[in-house]
Structure 1
């Protein structure tokens, strides 16, 4: 089986059995791993910066949109915190795109990892 097809099959299997919180945690960890890989192997993997930032931005767009919808039953304070985190992440991403430096990625990795740990009940 082609490597990409194997990865897709593995992801499909995880998503079919995972709770929404587990899925969100898994996706945040995947985004963190992509960013960390670029950071750790800079400049050799600097070409992967754009795709890693795009993946993270898309993920956070979905998370913030979903969390802040009126029908979402999260408490208002949590909705606001998620929205503020999303704004920070979008601003930091833009900053990195304008002035790419590997040390700027650390905060994005940390946020994703800590949110994922909280979602998985390890925070």
Structure 2
């Protein structure tokens, strides 16, 4: 059997782009967008540069990152956003894009539904 036939006989082990299999991934259903909370703070000395960049770029997110919402504090360079991404590449690009002007903290986030499911599994495991 040729290598091409082996690849086609086991599509669940091949990455989406057809490259070599990735350990621990049984199929492409593993992809699910994750939510992240992005918080930023800036010094007053960076205000002019932050305003210029935001007005020039519109605060667009990098490829692979979907902005779900963004909120700004009144009277300061503070705020947070909720974004969605399938992996951390776009999240890293976002941090690097603004890292020279703002300090950023980025946290994975869960919905109430996801947290409830995790807590249910945790409680079930503890009661065994």
Verify same fold: TM over 0.5: no
TM superposition score normalised by structure 1 = 0.24
Structure having the higher Rg? 2
TM superposition score normalised by structure 2 = 0.23
More helix by share: 1
Q: Which has the higher contact order (CA 8 A, sep 6+)?
A: 1
More strand by share: 2
